[in-house]
Amino acid sequence: MQFDSLDDIRAFCRDLPGGDARAAEAAAQRQQILTKPPGSLGRLEDLAIWLAHWQRREIPRLDHVMIAVFAGNHGVAERGVSAYPQAVTLQMVANFAGGGAAINQIARQAGADLRVVPIELDRPTRDFTVAAAMDDDELLNAIEIGYRTVPPDCDLLAVGEMGIANTTTAAMLCAALLGGGAARWAGRGTGVDDAGLARKRTAIEAALEHHRAILGDPLKVAAALGGRELAGIAGAILAARRHRIPVLLDGFVATAAIVPLAQLDAGILKHCRAGHVSAESGHRALLGELGLEPLLDLRMRLGEASGAGVAILLLRAALACHAGMASFTEAGVSGAEK
Amino acid sequence: MQFDSLDDIRAFCRDLPGGDARAAEAAAQRQQILTKPPGSLGRLEDLAIWLAHWQRREIPRLDHVMIAVFAGNHGVAERGVSAYPQAVTLQMVANFAGGGAAINQIARQAGADLRVVPIELDRPTRDFTVAAAMDDDELLNAIEIGYRTVPPDCDLLAVGEMGIANTTTAAMLCAALLGGGAARWAGRGTGVDDAGLARKRTAIEAALEHHRAILGDPLKVAAALGGRELAGIAGAILAARRHRIPVLLDGFVATAAIVPLAQLDAGILKHCRAGHVSAESGHRALLGELGLEPLLDLRMRLGEASGAGVAILLLRAALACHAGMASFTEAGVSGAEK
């Protein structure tokens, strides 16, 4: 086990590995001499420098890009919080394996390897309105699975999820750790109706009451009020940080998965970028809380790493410019007049 | 000549070719049966349907994508409105030919053919603060060049430009046709300082006064206050409409180039999408005036079709999902519960 106890995770987050400021500075200098007005590639320049920082090389690479999609089932689904039956989680995992889902097409387009990691789909977490969704060992096990998913030589990791009812779980984590109650965080997910949305809010409020004694402990919250696929994402993010691999977060659920870690140390966010902002109502507020600016805003709300997967394309464009453009000197182009 | 007179253009715009509503409807129906909650791919769904509409097939294709970059020089450059010397226009055209510019890298990434079309770089337009930049024949000639650039069998066209001082020309067209004066439309372009920005505004205000007699005639304005590369873009957009080819507009200058046509008939915008919103200050307002919602907002402000080029990647992702995803029936995935 990478982490034998919650304290091991707390210790890791107290002393997070850093990137390479000199590589980032070299990349920033390089951007200044390429044939364009300084800054004119906007966020594409920032992205190239960010990749350089975490990959610790002036010219980063994207030869080995992985999209990891974690799947889990949720006891709270019994409360009627989703428009779809729980069986769809497993059916969609089969669809991923068969190549028929959106993320299969996006991964191919993005030149990324797709890794789908179902975590005990036949053993949903317990309904958190009346019990702890997971105990510490169950949480650690899911984190470990996520951690092991990430190859140390990966150049970029995009993380996403599949799990019927998991926008309820994501909203639950946000409500427990960031405040504002169910109203702030519960949205329509895959398309629940007004009655379903009301059930979602009721479940979250009930769980906030039931678990009020542990709300001050982010990892206890991740266990009692989280989900296995969210814990898997957290584990993958921890592994990526260990190996200094830059990470693209997907939508509301994938972003909520990092909240417990961010509460231990907000520095965990530094090797992460928000691939997009989802149409799921809580996501924009969540990104704001975390200080993350999304790369895309396309009203997507599918999950399965689809938004992060599309954002990989932006990183490829950023890197292509960074690595391939001529300098003013090389191209014989005059600079700005003084 | 495609258009022998300005009246020929006016006639074309009075009777614009349409797309195929049935193909669009078939594409929209297809989106409903794919394995995702309806609407959850957001704008990627809209883009697939839009491509289907103009390509007149339920499953569109992006086998032959062209990026056309038009270049021109501007008499108003003499007024000290740019941070760069006019020689840079030609130098950058050489850089495009040598493969060293941003758009070369982006075009390769996007799987697009790059066509660079310099239009009489050795003959800048006249300084519009004191004369007509072009006469009718010069305008028609540049439109013709743009028109001929577009192969009828092209699946998608992205248009952009290169031309020192052309954000002044773009702001000029906007001020002349949309109102609000120089203050609303003049920005820092490639990075002009405060004094340069003041010169830019002064030039625009002077030209508004000098040409006030023709401000009610969009095509006269395109001649007297426009630029050759902007006219080339307009010609390419007209050709794309003739052949029902969908178009991605680039930044402030490329978008300004369509304004005279949009004033003849706003329907010209229907086969166009805004690839991105530029950091150039007037662009967001211009998109708002035209009712165009940008696909990307990455603080880019380079021109040369770079923003539209990156947006091609989004269309490829949209098409990959539209064409490649399994239906609920094919994948054996349960639909939403009623």
Among B335, B36, B322, which residue's Cα sits nearest to residue A251?
Answer: B36
Cβ separation A85–B332 shorter than 8 A = no
Tens digit of each residue's pLDDT (9 = 90 or more) over A173-228: 999 999 999 999 999 998 999 999 999 999 999 999 999 999 999 999 999 999 99
Residue whose entry in the numeric block shows the structure tokens 């050709």 = B239
Partner residues linked to B113 by β-bridges: B66
Q: In whole angstroms, give the CA distance from residue A200 to residue A192.
A: 9
* Mean local confidence (pLDDT), B277-282: 96
Which of B32, B34, B40 best tests the A interface by mutation, with the highest count of A CBs <10 A? Answer: B40
| This prediction's pTM | 0.98
Q: In whole angstroms, give the CA distance from residue A257 to residue A296.
A: 19
Q: In whole angstroms, give the CA distance from residue A78 to residue A175.
A: 20
Residue from the list B43, B95, B191 with its beta carbon closest to the beta carbon of A35: B95
Which of A43, A69, A302 best tests the B interface by mutation, with the highest count of B CBs <10 A? Answer: A302
Contact in structure between A275 and A248 (CB atoms under 8 Å):
yes
Could you say which residues from 58 to 87 on chain A have a Cβ atom under 8 Å away from some Cβ of chain B? 83-85, 87
Residues from chain A that touch B104, judged by Cβ atoms under 8 A, are: 324-325
Q: In whole angstroms, give the CA distance from residue A179 to residue A215.
A: 10
Q: In whole angstroms, give the CA distance from residue A284 to residue A294.
A: 9
Q: In whole angstroms, give the CA distance from residue A91 to residue B203.
A: 64
Residue-level pLDDT at B166: 98
The backbone region for B299, taken as left when phi is positive above 0, alpha when psi lies in -120 to 50, beta otherwise, is left
- Nearest CA of chain B to the CA of A176: how many Å? 27
Residues from chain B that touch A253, judged by Cβ atoms under 8 A, are: none
Residue-level pLDDT at A337: 80
Quick check: B91 contacting A, CB < 8 Å?
yes
- The alpha carbons of chain B give a radius of gyration, in whole angstroms, of 20
Residue-level pLDDT at A338: 65
Q: How many CB atoms lie within 10 A of CB B267?
A: 16
Distant-in-sequence, close-in-space partners of A212: CB < 8 Å, separation ≥ 6: none
Contacts within 8 Å (CB) and 24+ apart, B122-127:
B122/B73, B123/B73, B124/B72, B124/B73, B124/B74, B124/B75, B124/B77, B124/B86, B125/B72, B125/B73, B125/B74, B125/B75, B125/B76, B125/B169, B125/B226, B125/B227, B125/B228, B126/B75, B127/B75, B127/B76, B127/B78, B127/B79
Residues of chain A below pLDDT 70? 338
Annotation marks residue B229 as catalytic: no
Among B332, B202, B160, B308, which residue's Cα sits nearest to residue B248?
Answer: B308
Residue-level pLDDT at B16: 98
Residue-level pLDDT at A281: 93
Amino acid at A58: E
Which of A86, A293, A333 best tests the B interface by mutation, with the highest count of B CBs <10 A? Answer: A333
Residues from chain A that touch B317, judged by Cβ atoms under 8 A, are: 105-106, 109-110, 309-310, 313
Residue-level pLDDT at B338: 65
- DSSP track, B4-55: SSHHHHHHHHHT-----HHHHHHHHHHHHHBSS-TTTTTHHHHHHHHHHHHH
Quick check: B266 contacting A, CB < 8 Å?
no
* Mean local confidence (pLDDT), B34-48: 97
Pull the structure tokens for residue B47. Answer: 């883009």
Contact in structure between A224 and A132 (CB atoms under 8 Å):
yes
Strands lying side by side in the sheet with B247-249: B112-118, B65-71, B156-162, B247-249, B272-274
**What percent of chain B is predicted at pLDDT more than 70?**
100
Q: In whole angstroms, give the CA distance from residue A158 to residue A152.
A: 14
Quick check: A301 contacting B, CB < 8 Å?
yes
Partner residues linked to B118 by β-bridges: B71
Residue-level pLDDT at B149: 98
Distant-in-sequence, close-in-space partners of B76: CB < 8 Å, separation ≥ 6: B125, B127, B128, B129, B133, B165, B168, B169, B172, B203, B207
Given a cut of 90, is residue B158 above it in pLDDT?
yes
Q: In whole angstroms, give the CA distance from residue A247 to residue A250.
A: 10
Quick check: B211 contacting A, CB < 8 Å?
no
Residues from chain B that touch A314, judged by Cβ atoms under 8 A, are: 298, 310, 313
Distant-in-sequence, close-in-space partners of A247: CB < 8 Å, separation ≥ 6: A156, A157, A158, A159, A236, A237, A240, A271, A272, A273
Q: In whole angstroms, give the CA distance from residue B252 to residue B170.
A: 7
Could you say which residues from 180 to 209 on chain B have a Cβ atom under 8 Å away from some Cβ of chain A? 190-191
Amino acid at B117: V
Per CATH, is A62-317 categorized as 3.40.50.720? no
Residue from the list B37, B298, B331 with its beta carbon closest to the beta carbon of A98: B331
* Mean local confidence (pLDDT), B144-150: 98
